[in-house]
A and B are shown apart, each in its own frame.
Chain A
């Protein structure tokens, strides 16, 4: 337990874990508490240090006043200082996502590098949250004051009238946490906090952020996050959680824990493909339009994450197949499988499919299951190649068509990556845009090269 020096100026917190790494500061949604992380924390493992906080008016901070976004941020700030952490990540969920962004702005302005990054789970955006007026008033009506039938209404709030898939003991616990809250905090968020406009103040944050959105979340899901939150984040990744709505930590604790681990570990190890300096200079130069540069920079940060679309075994098999289809020996290979999974998760497809194949994701699952049944990931390279050849033995068959899709999708991911474009000496990124000083090409004949055109760099992501 974390000591509360002053019951009105710091928040109740729960500390766990013993490792040397940075601390994950976990905050909750409106009506939640430290307990919303009960399932996730054990999954992170003992060596991960966590500090969970009850925000003012909730959980064991029910008596602490200060419900505006600014007051919440102040209290979190004071609490973190009191805890004297040297490196940490802020993890905000829904309401507390907004608080985290406001706090991150303060850390950036102060040049305070103890804050390493943020994970925002279905965050409420810095701008007023677009809650339809009727929904807002029915929420105020439901739990704005203590009265008969609260239990039932709190249960509907947690389960969204039974739409959400949460184990019943967890529902029971979450409902009792809702009923513990100070109703004034509930009202304050709905009538004021969620409407406060921090978009100017937050601006664009530079620190690395993972935004996690539930595929089925209709108010703060992937599309809304892209539209209202991501514009405030200069270095963000969006992860989509399949079949999940708004209460991701209690709906999908395994995936929540896996995403937290992956994000924090990746950030600490930095294993991105290396791109030769000359090519990075070209990307930074006024040869590129800003749109092109943004797209390439985003791709260099790696694929958008998606969780729960493939099983662990399917993913392992896909990674093994990717290594055979497009061998890469670079110490930091391009995460081809990750890019393919992100595309599958986006559900966007390429506009068509062969009639012999089911929908894209199903086809991948079936194909990978077949390979996994051959124990693909543990075979020798020669045996793996034989397995892949077997897929295309009968031309036009479903397996041959899926293998064709797989080759195409991996190749898209490979070729589009700046590390590959540098490797082949591709000049097309430098054609400029409507307002750039240089546009297009003048020297078009064989063997004619313009001075700025890059030479190939076979070592850029060199293969075996």
Chain B
């Protein structure tokens, strides 16, 4: 790995190494810029350090405490936040639907929520570039977009996917093999030895040990970035910035072990995710003339329906979410705006048991008896759009972490729209599970992903960054992560984050030429 001196001035410091950061790192370094990535977490060696154990793999998650408030407080940690070289993508589910074009202009269509300041056509070439590079597996024909082609053949369906297809067929809802960012055949890209096909171990959410099968950043964009000369510094938690008289950022200060170090730089890409990015900006008092930093926190409506099947499901086997339906992106009978997609679910036992104890509220003998049926259970879950509300925001609490940085407090309450969408999805999925032969069906209400908090927009008065991720206030600060989304979109976020990251990097190179 190439290395840089702290005192030398590098072209760009990138904070974070997840979905928003890794593509930027690769692009900028390949254009010949000197780039240092500062990552709070550690650098894992999956083959040696990952185990097939949920508790042991808990260190993949961001464990710095967050305070969750509101009527429907959302869970952090293992529910949505990772750390380490590769970010949350180390343990993501690699489920990669594209955003639906209608979701990008929800406000224009319905008067609710917010539009993206860009169109599907702006994103399309970047979607295709990411899908090609990661080696996305998917169906030959995608039922909801006849134009779309996936580079690799689909990943095998597991038992929950098979019963979902049966149930959905019975109630007249279309399904398809899901677009999945895990390779279904050996796949070679620059910077990494050939990635081996997914073996269906079912442990995506605990990190993939199988030789790069899953498109985590540490086997895709980061090796490419390293090959192009990026230096990645793990255990480097950024907590402040330095500026010159003109107000430009001139250096980033980070904690490494016991020491505070300074990296001088000409520009900064802040890619710490939708919680740490606004936390850092609020703490530093930067880029917030709009007052929008921390505002508009959103989380997907991620309601799940579970049931017991007469057949053995052994839902821990196979790729965890291998079937998708996008039929409910605009349901005809909806009493809410926007919509949701659904996916089959196999969940490993500790995570599953915890949600039974917490979410279904079982305890005592009924809990033990229910968990005994693990091998017969299967689920299906929604991922639904969420509107931004003034009451849903991130702020700094009056408690501090070990370094004296205030802990973030996140206020999140479903509005009427999310509540109705959740109910609609539960009703549809329950009908499907009945039709598929399940009994003892129950609904688990939850929200997923951390979205918004530094929204992009055209007007500096009501957005934090421009449509390419550049701060309206500080010309040499760029943001690339889930925080810039002005709308949640029904699609799972990572593919769109990566596409936007490539677009930001292109723009950065253009304006700095």
**Which residues in A have some Cβ–Cβ distance to B below 8 Å?**
288-289, 291-292, 294-296, 299, 324-328, 348-356, 359, 385, 388, 392, 396, 404, 407-408, 410-412, 414-416, 420-421, 423-435, 439-449, 453, 456, 458, 463-464
Contacts and interface: CB of A to CB of B under 8 A. Distances in A.
A444 B316 contact: no
A351 B46 contact: no
Contacts of B371: 411, 414-415, 420, 424
Interface string B178-215: 00000000000000000000111111000001110000
A443 B203 CA distance: 16
12 contacts: A289-B209, A291-B48, A324-B363, A353-B67, A407-B361, A415-B353, A415-B371, A416-B54, A420-B371, A424-B371, A426-B375, A442-B200
B47 interface: yes
B88 to A, nearest CB: 12
Given A407-B357, A424-B371, A446-B162, A416 B53 contact: yes
A385 B76 contact: no
Contact of A412 (B66, B157, B202, B350): B350
A352 B313 contact: no
Nearest to B64: A351
Interface stretch (B55-63, B123-131, B330-338): B55-63
B367 interface: yes
Contact of A291 (B51, B200, B201, B374): B51
Given A433-B50, A442-B200, A411 B163 contact: no
Given A291-B49, A327-B365, A407-B357, A444 B156 contact: yes
Contacts of B375: 424-426, 456
Contacts of A423: 372
Nearest to B369: A463
Given A327-B368, A444-B317, A434 B47 contact: yes
Best-surrounded residue of B50, B317, B349 (most CB of chain A within 10 A): B317
B108 to A, nearest CB: 35
B78 A351 contact: yes
Given A327-B365, A352-B76, A412-B55, A446 B68 contact: no
A166 B85 CA distance: 44
Contacts of B352: 415
The 9 A-B residue pairs with the shortest CB-CB distance, nearest first, are A351-B77, A440-B199, A434-B47, A355-B69, A352-B76, A291-B51, A446-B311, A431-B201, A411-B357
Contact of B76 (A351, A356, A426, A441): A351
Given A295-B51, A324-B364, A350-B77, A441 B202 contact: yes
B353 A295 contact: no
Given A441-B318, A444-B158, A352 B66 contact: yes
Contact of B73 (A327, A354, A412): A354
A153 to B, nearest CB: 27
A298 B350 CA distance: 17
Contacts of B209: 289, 433-434
B364 A327 contact: yes
A408 B65 contact: no
A431 B51 contact: no
Interface string B13-52: 0000000000000000000000000000000001111111
A430 B199 CA distance: 12
Nearest to B70: A355
A170 B245 CA distance: 59
A449 B156 CA distance: 16
B75 interface: yes
B356 interface: yes
Contacts of B64: 351
Contacts of A415: 349-350, 352-354, 371
B52 A292 contact: yes
A333 B399 CA distance: 39
A353 B53 contact: no
A456 B376 CA distance: 11
B116 interface: no
Contacts of B81: 351
Contact of B358 (A408, A425, A431): A408
B314 interface: yes
Nearest to B53: A295
Interface string B357-388: 11001011101100110110000000000000
B350 A416 contact: yes
A421 B163 CA distance: 24
Nearest to A357: B67
Contact of A325 (B48, B159, B198, B367): B367
B348 interface: yes
Given A411-B353, A411-B354, 9 more contacts: A289-B52, A291-B56, A295-B56, A325-B363, A349-B65, A428-B52, A433-B50, A433-B52, A445-B162
Interface in B263-289: none
A415 B356 CA distance: 11
Given A291-B49, A291-B50, A425-B375, A439 B210 contact: yes
B367 A411 contact: yes
Given A349-B63, A414-B353, A446 B309 contact: yes
B122 interface: no
Contacts of A392: 361
A426 B353 contact: no
Interface string B290-305: 0000000000000000
B423 interface: no
B449 interface: no
A441 B317 contact: yes
A443 B202 CA distance: 13
A431 B311 contact: no
B351 to A, nearest CB: 9
A105 to B, nearest CB: 27
A408 B66 contact: no
Nearest to B82: A351
B94 to A, nearest CB: 15
A380 to B, nearest CB: 14
Contact of A355 (B52, B158, B409): B409
Interface in B323-350: 348-350
Contacts of A428: 52, 201-203, 316-317, 348-349
A356 B309 CA distance: 38
Contacts of A421: 349
B260 interface: no
Contact of B55 (A408, A416, A424, A463): A416
Contacts of B361: 392, 404, 407
B298 to A, nearest CB: 17
Contact of A385 (B200, B364, B374): B364
A115 B70 CA distance: 57
B312 interface: yes
Given A411-B353, A424-B372, A428-B349, A353 B68 contact: yes
Contacts of B58: 348, 350
B63 A296 contact: no
Given A352-B67, A408-B358, A440 B73 contact: no
Contacts of A464: 365
A241 to B, nearest CB: 20
A388 to B, nearest CB: 7
Contacts of A388: 363
Interface in B137-176: 156-159, 162-163
Nearest to B61: A351
Contacts of B55: 295, 299, 412, 416
Contacts of A295: 51, 53, 55-56
A399 to B, nearest CB: 14
A178 B54 CA distance: 48
Contacts of B52: 288-289, 292, 428-433
A441 B199 contact: yes
B162 A408 contact: no
Contacts of A458: 372
Contacts of A435: 47
A431 B346 CA distance: 15
A225 B78 CA distance: 27
